[in-house]
Amino acid sequence: MKNRLYQSLFLGITSAIAASASYALITPQNETQASMENLAITPVSTPSIYEITANFLGQTAELEQPIKPRNIEHKIRANESLSSIFPLYNINSKILKKITTANAIGAKFANLTVNNILIIELDDDYQLQRLIYKKDIVNTLVATRNGDDFDVRMDKKQLDNHERLAQGIINSSLSADGIKAGLSANIINQLADKIFAWDIDFNKDLKPNDKFTVIYEEILVEGERLKTGEVLAAEFVINGKSYSAIRYKDKEGNIEYYSPQGKNVVRKVRKTFLRSPIEFARISSRFNLHRKHPVLNRIRAHKGVDYAARSGTPIKTTGDGKIIFRGRKGGYGNVVIVQHNKKYKSLYAHMSKFNGKYKLGSKIKQGAVIGYVGKTGLATGNHLHYEFLVNGIHKNPLTVKIPHTKIKINKTFLARFKKQTQPYVDQLNRATTETAAIKVDKLFSKKIKKL
Ligand SMILES: [Zn+2]
C-alpha cells in the first residue's frame, strides 16, 4: 500500500529532472487516478539539485508503477541534515537513528558539508538500501542495509606519497615562474618564507635566467595530486651563485634545512636570528637616528624598527636566549629584553601583555612567543618596537649581518646526515648538470639555425 503511493508520487519524474528543482512530495488523493494532472509533486521555493535515475518499467504495469527512481543524488544545502533530508524522500526517521547509532562512524553522518553530495539508493519498494556521503576526496561514508539494520563504514582512498622534481628559469618572479614549473603555492611559500628567507630576498635578488630546482613531496589520490607536502631539497642559482638547502630530520625528530658546505661540513640554513619578530607585518617606522618622534614631536633617534600590527598579535623572540628583563619600562611600556649570547641582545616594546609561560630568567628558543602587540608606554597606535643590539650598540635589525647557526658535527651525525640527504644532493647535482646541458644544446641549435 505504502509502496504504491510512492510509485505514483514519482510518476512523470522526468519533468522534475528537467526542471532541476526541488519538490516536496505530497500524497495523491486517489492513487488509481495517477496521471500527469494529479502528479503529486509541488515545487518548493528554495531550489536544490538532485537527480533521479528513473527506471522505466513499461506501460502494462499500469500507472501504479511506471517509473521508479533508484539513485538520488542530493546536493547538501545550508542548514541541511539527514533529519531534514530524509522526509524529502519519505525515509523513516527510525532509519536515521539506526544509521547514526550503528557504530562510532555512524555519528559522522551528523556533519554534512554544504555542496557535498549525498547518494540515496532505494530499492524497488522505495526502501533505503544504501546511503553514501562523499565527505572529501579521500573519505566516503557508506551505510548499507543489512536486514532491518544498517552497516556503516568509512571508505578511505589510498594516498600515495611521491617525490617530485621541478625546475625552472626565472622570467618574472618566483611565484609566476614557480607555478609555471608546477610548484604549488605551498611549496613556493616554504621556499620564500622559510627555507631561503635568510639568504635570498626574492623581491630584489632574482634576475632573469636565474635557475631553481626543487624536490618536494606530493600526495596523490588515485593518481591525482591532492596536495603538496614539504620541500625535501632545493637549489637556487642566482647570478651564478648557488644556494642549496636539504631537509634533514635528526635523531630527536627535529627537522631543519641544511646546506652542504664542502666535503665534511654542513650548516643550518636557518640563521641565528629571525629577521623579524612578527610575520607579515607592515613596517611603520624604520631605524633612523634622526627621526622626529611622533609623540614627543622632536628629533629623537629611532633605534629600532616598528611593526604595525593588530593588538594581540604574537611576538616571537628572534633567537635562542634568556629573558633578562620583563616588565614596565617608561616609554617602552611592557617590554621584554632577551640576551642571546654575550654579543647579541634584542628588545620588544609596547606589548599589551606578556606570555605567562616565560618569566625573568627563562631560557627560550627562537620563534617562541614572548608577548603580544599593544600600545603600552609612548605609542600612538598598536605596534611592536623592536631593537637589536650587537655588543651593546643598536643596529638596524633589517640590515645587520646575521650569522648562520653553526652546529657541532661529529662523525655519527655526519654519517647519519649523509645517508639521509645524499640521494637529494645527487639529484640536485644531476638536475643542475642536465639543465646546463639543455642550455648548451639550445645555444648550439640557435647557432645552427643561423648558419
Ligand atoms: Zn619604535
Tell how far the Cα of 386 is from the centroid of ligand 1, in angstroms: 7
d(CA 31, CA 38): 9
Q: What is the CA radius of gyration of the chain?
A: 33
Indicate the residue among 395, 411, 431 that finishes a domain: 395
pLDDT of residue 95: 92
Three cell numbers, residue 194: 622559510
Res. 437 pLDDT band, cuts 50 70 90:
low
Tell how far the Cα of 358 is from the centroid of ligand 1, in angstroms: 24
pLDDT of residue 69: 59
pLDDT tens, position by position, 263-319: 666 777 777 888 789 876 788 989 988 877 777 777 788 999 999 999 999 999 999
Tell how far the Cα of 183 is from the centroid of ligand 1, in angstroms: 38
Indicate the residue among 395, 414, 438 that finishes a domain: 395
Tell how far the Cα of 388 is from the centroid of ligand 1, in angstroms: 12
pLDDT tens, position by position, 84-94: 999 999 898 89
Model-wide pTM > 0.75: no
d(CA 319, CA 365): 6
Indicate whether 212 and 233 sit together in one domain.
Answer: yes
Indicate whether 254 and 386 sit together in one domain.
Answer: no
CATH assignment at residue 194: 3.10.450.350
Tell how far the Cα of 361 is from the centroid of ligand 1, in angstroms: 25
The verdict on residue 434 lying in a domain is: no
pLDDT tens, position by position, 389-429: 999 999 998 888 887 776 667 788 888 888 999 999 999 98
The verdict on residue 276 lying in a domain is: no
Indicate whether 287 and 381 sit together in one domain.
Answer: yes
pLDDT tens, position by position, 224-269: 888 999 999 999 999 999 999 999 998 888 888 988 776 666 777 7
Tell how far the Cα of 292 is from the centroid of ligand 1, in angstroms: 11
pLDDT of residue 276: 84
- Reply yes or no on whether the pLDDT at 19 is more than 60: no
Tell how far the Cα of 305 is from the centroid of ligand 1, in angstroms: 6
Indicate whether 213 and 335 sit together in one domain.
Answer: no
- Cα separation values, 364 from 318, 326, 327, Å: 10, 13, 17
- Reply yes or no on whether the pLDDT at 186 is more than 90: yes
Ranked by mean pLDDT, the top range of 197-206, 210-219, 288-297 is 210-219
- Cα separation values, 362 from 67, 320, 321, 326, 409, Å: 76, 11, 8, 10, 27
Tell how far the Cα of 384 is from the centroid of ligand 1, in angstroms: 7
pLDDT tens, position by position, 47-67: 333 333 333 333 344 444 444
Tell how far the Cα of 284 is from the centroid of ligand 1, in angstroms: 9
Indicate whether 260 and 298 sit together in one domain.
Answer: no
Indicate whether 229 and 311 sit together in one domain.
Answer: no
Tell how far the Cα of 258 is from the centroid of ligand 1, in angstroms: 34
The verdict on residue 314 lying in a domain is: yes
pLDDT of residue 31: 35
Tell how far the Cα of 338 is from the centroid of ligand 1, in angstroms: 17
Q: Which whole number is the average pLDDT over 420-442?
A: 75
Tell how far the Cα of 344 is from the centroid of ligand 1, in angstroms: 19
Q: Which whole number is the average pLDDT over 339-348?
A: 93
Q: Which single residue is written with the C-alpha cell 544504501? A: 130
Decide the pairing of beta strands 353-354 and 139-146: unpaired
The verdict on residue 375 lying in a domain is: yes
Indicate whether 54 and 125 sit together in one domain.
Answer: yes
Indicate whether 27 and 54 sit together in one domain.
Answer: yes
The verdict on residue 183 lying in a domain is: yes
Tell how far the Cα of 306 is from the centroid of ligand 1, in angstroms: 5
pLDDT tens, position by position, 360-381: 999 999 889 999 999 999 998 9
Three cell numbers, residue 253: 625528530
pLDDT of residue 223: 83
- Reply yes or no on whether the pLDDT at 444 is more than 60: no
d(CA 9, CA 438): 68
pLDDT of residue 406: 67
Indicate whether 126 and 181 sit together in one domain.
Answer: no
Residues 29 and 6: beta-carbon distance below 8 Å: no
Indicate the residue among 123, 156, 189 that finishes a domain: 156
Residue 288 Cα to chain centre, angstroms: 38
Summary mean pLDDT of the chain: 80
Q: Report the domain count for the chain.
A: 3
- Reply yes or no on whether the pLDDT at 68 is more than 90: no
- Cα separation values, 38 from 10, 42, 262, 321, 360, Å: 11, 10, 86, 81, 82
Indicate whether 167 and 311 sit together in one domain.
Answer: no
d(CA 190, CA 247): 12
Ranked by mean pLDDT, the top range of 188-192, 301-305, 323-327 is 323-327
- Gap between the terminal Cα atoms of the chain: 89
Tell how far the Cα of 331 is from the centroid of ligand 1, in angstroms: 10
The verdict on residue 406 lying in a domain is: no
The verdict on residue 275 lying in a domain is: no
Tell how far the Cα of 227 is from the centroid of ligand 1, in angstroms: 41
Tell how far the Cα of 382 is from the centroid of ligand 1, in angstroms: 11
Torsional class of 391: left (φ above 0), alpha (ψ -120 to 50), beta (otherwise): left
Tell how far the Cα of 72 is from the centroid of ligand 1, in angstroms: 63
Cβ neighbour number for residue 382 with a 10 Å cutoff = 20
Tell how far the Cα of 67 is from the centroid of ligand 1, in angstroms: 76
Tell how far the Cα of 335 is from the centroid of ligand 1, in angstroms: 12
Indicate whether 104 and 79 sit together in one domain.
Answer: yes
pLDDT of residue 264: 66
- Reply yes or no on whether the pLDDT at 44 is more than 70: no
CATH assignment at residue 348: 2.70.70.10
Tell how far the Cα of 120 is from the centroid of ligand 1, in angstroms: 62
pLDDT of residue 25: 34
- H or E element, residue 85: helix 82-85
Tell how far the Cα of 297 is from the centroid of ligand 1, in angstroms: 14
Tell how far the Cα of 310 is from the centroid of ligand 1, in angstroms: 15
Tell how far the Cα of 341 is from the centroid of ligand 1, in angstroms: 24
User: Containing domain of residue 328, as a range?
Assistant: 282-395
Residues in the chain: 451
Three cell numbers, residue 46: 528554495
pLDDT of residue 248: 92
- Reply yes or no on whether the pLDDT at 22 is more than 80: no
The verdict on residue 146 lying in a domain is: yes
pLDDT of residue 263: 66
> Which range is least confidently modeled, 1-10, 321-330, 350-359?
1-10
Tell how far the Cα of 300 is from the centroid of ligand 1, in angstroms: 11
Indicate whether 144 and 14 sit together in one domain.
Answer: yes
Q: Which single residue is written with the C-alpha cell 634622526? A: 290
pLDDT tens, position by position, 112-170: 999 999 999 998 888 999 999 999 888 999 999 999 999 999 999 988 999 999 999 99
